[in-house]
A and B are shown apart, each in its own frame.
Chain A
Amino acid sequence: MEKEKSTLIDKIWAFFASVKFAIIIFALIATTSIIGTILEQREDPAKNLQILSRLFSESLAPTLYEIFDKLGFFNMYRSWWFISLLALFALNLIICSLDRLPKIWKLVKEPMLPLPEETLKKFLINREFTIKNTPDNIKFFVSDTLKKSGFKCNEVKEDNGFQFFGQKWNYSRLGVYLTHMSILLILIGALIGIKLGFKGYMEVGEGTVSNTVISGDKVLTLDFLVKCENFETEFYGMSDMPKEYRSWLTIIKDGKEVVKKSITVNDPLTYEGITFYQSSYGIIPNGLGRGIFIFNVVSKDGKSNLLNLRFGDSFQIPGTNLTGRIIDFSPALRYDERGNTFTYTNMMNNPAVLIDFTESGKHKFSGWIFKRHPESWQLPDGNRVEFYNYWGVEYTGLQVRKDPGVWLVYLGCILISIGLFTAFFLSHRRIWVKLIADKQYTRIVIGANTNKNRAAFERKIDMIVSTLSKNKEGAK
């Protein structure tokens, strides 16, 4: 009874430790993921119904939808069975490592011993040659050559000569395990991020502060305030192709400004473990009233005046009695073929203000002034209204994230790179070199082994052999 029980457990253990199980898991994760990329994840059911009827048929789609829905395919990567697959994958890695590590560790740590000639000759890599000198004379040269090839060798005196033996990169055998363990680290890091962190979104208007983050269907409150000093979009030349989005943020904690930083799309701001990413922007609804337009007004004879104006404000061109009033604004104004204006997007692509000019109470002229187009700044009577900037009408959309596990993920990424490199490009190499006195000659027998890439090691050994045999006379 006892015995049978333990063999069953042994069998289960062996199954979980096996590479066969690993490749089954690989295949399962890969194929289910394929389905996950075809069906839309966490989307409107109508979309998936459409995809299904396109792939199969109109009549089959609703039934299929129900089946896939029951199996969780529309939120697949969070479904119980996909998570279980990942868990099995992790379990497989852990058990496989526990199973093999002791043996590998022994191979890494195993001290090398001198070996008899017959054993050396049985190695897959072995060489034998004779040189015209005595072992005593050439032993320094031999150990030096081996050292130059990266083998720090032990030396033992034998009956009729010497034996050198050494190894290198024995730790490279652990590369595979480093790789496997890093995968676990990444999974643990991801889990910590999901359990202890959050992902959310917040909007902060120019000149305002906020501490509310919307995360899924929850609303979180930060214990500090985020202030958006300014938001700007830079474009490529006159095109509507955005070049950079930039927000100037200030963090206010307990009434004090603690951090100031301008963020761009690839350059976020982190404070107290919470990171703010530039993610979107827009125009504050009904925010026109609080916006400020910055003009430089220049009269014909060169007098100028820098003005901060609000919508509806009036201003005077210095040295004249011409009065302008801002009566309309468009974030992106364009003229159509007939010369009529229209707003082509609600993003701040081509902002323009409509200014109405009066002289001594009488309407004189009116026109659109574009920020981007200096030629529109010229008034018909030679005065200029330069539209420099605007402020206070846009909000910046920030992706907010706290992820206490991300450093583990990154650590795992670094280690997996090191692990893969060692696993594929380094090998544990061992070499034994025996010098045997044979009258005034020395017979050299080399035996060597490696756990992979034997061809490369053989080339190395042949180089050692040719160095040794070429320098036979030079050695003292």
Chain B
Amino acid sequence: MESPLLFGISTMAYFIAMMIYFIYLAFRNNPVGIIATSFTILGFISQTFAIALRWKEFAELSGMGFIRSAPLTNLYESLTFFVWCLILGYLIIEFKFKNRSFGAFVTPIAGLVLAFIDLTGVTKEIQPLVPALKSNWLLAHVTMSFIAYAAFAISFSTGIMYLILNTEKKNEPAYIFWTLTFGLFAILILSMGIDFLTFKVKVRPEIFIKSYLFKTSFLHPSATVNIISWLISFAIIFIVWKYGFILKRILIKFGLSADMLDEITYKSIAVGFPIFTLGGLIFGAIWADQAWGVYWSWDPKETWSLITWFIYAFYIHSRFVRGWKGKKAAIVAVIGFMAVIFTYLGVNLLLSGLHSYGSQ
């Protein structure tokens, strides 16, 4: 079998699992839950094989030895690895907390990221490594960063569920915060979807969407289109804000306790933070030191990692300040993951820097 086919199978499996998780949530029927879990595991196994195959292929092609050939060298491969860690983390939580309700939240993230890869036309070719990337430190750096990102992604989803469950009034800051977050994500996905539809058809499909990002909406040459895009964005945010409580009603049915959500948020950050510190910041610095002779140069990617680190340090310490448990802490956890996304995608898409890595 070929690795793209296996990746396709896992994408499908995650989406099917998502739907079955939703059925499970509606009917609370255990056999249904087991089927949902089985699909997730199927997707995971197929993805594991896909990664292994790609690894083998790369090792044979590059002749660089097994370790150096880990398939973690470009955006496509690292996003795939992120999904793999996320699903692994989820399966561990499902097993430990004996609760399947998160499945409905995690599997769509997995499916969406895999679909996003297709959508943006990120190159899937196996590419040879430029000299700066040939380092074992880089491998450790990327692997551990993505394990940490997966842990942070889990804290993001539990954090936002916590906020949904615990907000009462439409004018309270936490409610406004989470509806705004939801709205922004919806707008981003929508506008990138339109970018994709227009440009994949019109312009060269193999080109990365980076240069066209938001050109069909916010950055369109015509002012009318800009204004309409903004108006639609405000409308989306308003609708989410107005009808957000519907989500709360659905969530209540899941039987999740706020304490458990809070605990999972903290625990996944407690796992992610040391791994991120060691793998993301320290190994990244060692690699830069070896390659360029500067362990820290304040380039945008590094600085954004540091910003992310400070936000999570903020989260960890906010628990020691009176009155900062619960909602405020959950907001920080959500912001933390947005910083993660920006560090990984935003810096490459919107800012430029030393790290040519991932810009393909």
0/1 string, B100-137, CB within 8 A of A gives 1: 00000000000000000000000000001111101101
Q: A58-66, A164-172, A235-243, A347-355: which lies at the B interface? A: A235-243
Which chain B positions have C-beta within 8 A of A20?
321
Decide: B314 and A27 in contact? CB cutoff 8 A.
yes
- Other-chain residue from B130, B286, B290, B298 in contact with A241 (beta carbon distance below 8 A): B130
Q: Across the interface, do B289 and A413 meet the contact criterion of CB distance under 8 Å?
A: no
A residues less than 8 Å from B291 (CB atoms): 265-266, 277
* A38-B351, A277-B293, A424-B273 known; A242-B131 Cβ under 8 A: yes
Residues of B within 8 A of A245 (CB): 131
Report Cα–Cα, A264/B135, bound state, in Å: 11
Q: How far is the CA of A77 from the CA of B299 in the complex (A)?
A: 11
Q: Which of these binds chain B: A7-15, A29-37, A130-138, A336-344?
A: A29-37
Which residues of the other chain, B, contact A33 by a CB distance below 8 angstroms? 303, 306-307, 310
A-side contacts of B300, CB under 8 Å: 37
Q: Tell me how far the C-beta of B289 lies from the nearest C-beta in chain A, rounded to whole angstroms.
A: 7
Give chain B residues whose Cβ lies under 8 Å from the Cβ of A236.
128
Distance to closest chain B CB from A408 (angstroms): 12
Stretch at the interface among B74-82, B86-94, B250-258, B277-285: B277-285
Are A424 and B270 within 8 A (Cβ)?
yes
Q: Is A190 close to B, CB under 8 A?
A: yes
Closest to B322 in A: A20
B131 near A417 (CB under 8 angstroms)?
no
Are B274 and A420 in contact, with the CB atoms below 8 A?
A: yes
A409 at the interface (CB under 8 A from B): yes
- In the assembled complex, the Cα of A243 lies from the Cα of B292 at a distance in Å of 17
B212 within 8 A of A: no
Q: Is the CB of A399 within 8 A of B131?
A: no
Question: With contacts A30-B310, A77-B298, A199-B293 known, is A243 near B270, CB below 8 A?
Answer: no
Determine whether the beta carbon of B274 is less than 8 Å from that of A417. yes
On chain A, the residues within 8 Å of B270 by CB distance are: 424
When A245-B131, A264-B131, A417-B274 are in contact, do A401 and B294 touch as well, CB less than 8 Å? yes
A19→B132 contact, CB < 8 A: no
From the candidates A241, A265, A266, name the one contacting B128 in the complex (CB within 8 A): A241
Is there a chain A Cβ closer than 8 Å to B313's Cβ? yes
Task: Tell me, in angstroms, the Cα distance from A20 to B134 when the chains sit together.
Answer: 43
- A26 pairs with B310, CB closer than 8 A: yes
- Please report whether the interface of chain A is mostly helix, strand, loop or mixed according to DSSP: helix
A128 within 8 A of partner (CB): no
Classify the interface of chain B: helix, strand, loop or mixed: helix
Q: Is there a chain B Cβ closer than 8 Å to A97's Cβ?
A: no
Query: Does the CB pair A26–B293 fall under 8 Å?
Result: no
In the complex with contacts A236-B128, A413-B285, A416-B277, A277-B307 CB distance below 8 A: no
Closest Cβ neighbor of B350 among chain A residues: A38
Chain B residues with Cβ under 8 A from A38's Cβ? 351
Structural contact, A37 and B311, CB atoms closer than 8 A? no
Q: Does A95 contact B (CB under 8 A)?
A: no
CB pair A420–B317 under 8 Å, yes or no, is no
Judging by beta carbons under 8 Å apart, are B285 and A244 in contact?
Answer: no
Check if A23 is an interface residue, CB within 8 A of chain B: yes
Chain B residue contacts of A19, Cβ below 8 A: 317, 320-321
Partner of A30, one of B295, B298, B314, B320: B314
Docked-complex contact A267 and B277, CB < 8 angstroms: no
- Please give, as numbers and ranges, the residues of chain B lying within 8 Å of A242 by CB-CB distance: 130-131
Docked-complex contact B282 and A417, CB < 8 angstroms: yes
A420 CB contacts on chain B under 8 angstroms: 273-274, 277-278
In the assembled complex, the CB of A192 is this many whole angstroms from the nearest CB of chain B, namely 13
Q: How far is the CB of A183 from chain B (nearest CB, A)?
A: 10
Is A41 part of the binding interface, using a Cβ–Cβ cutoff of 8 Å? yes
How long is the Cα–Cα vector from A16 to B103 in the complex, in angstroms?
Answer: 44
Tell me whether A266 and B293 are in contact (CB under 8 A): no
List B contacts of A400 (CB < 8 A): 293
Which residues of A lie under 8 Å from residue B49 when comparing CB positions? none
Question: Do A26 and B314 touch across chains, with their CB atoms under 8 A apart?
Answer: yes
**A268 interface residue, CB < 8 Å from B?**
yes
Question: Which of A's residues lie within 8 Å of B, judged by CB?
Answer: 19-20, 22-23, 26-27, 29-30, 33-34, 36-38, 41, 77, 190, 199, 236, 241-245, 264-268, 275, 277-279, 399-401, 406, 409-410, 413, 416-417, 420-421, 424
Question: Can you list 7 pairs linking A and B with CB atoms under 8 Å apart?
Answer: A19-B317, A26-B310, A30-B314, A41-B298, A268-B290, A277-B291, A413-B285
> Interface of B with A (CB < 8 Å)?
128-132, 134-135, 137, 270-271, 273-274, 277-278, 282, 285-287, 289-296, 298, 300, 303-304, 306-307, 310-311, 313-314, 317-318, 320-321, 347, 351
Q: A37-B351, A417-B282 are in contact. List 9 more A-B contacts (CB 8 A).
A: A23-B318, A30-B311, A33-B307, A37-B300, A245-B131, A265-B131, A265-B134, A267-B290, A413-B285
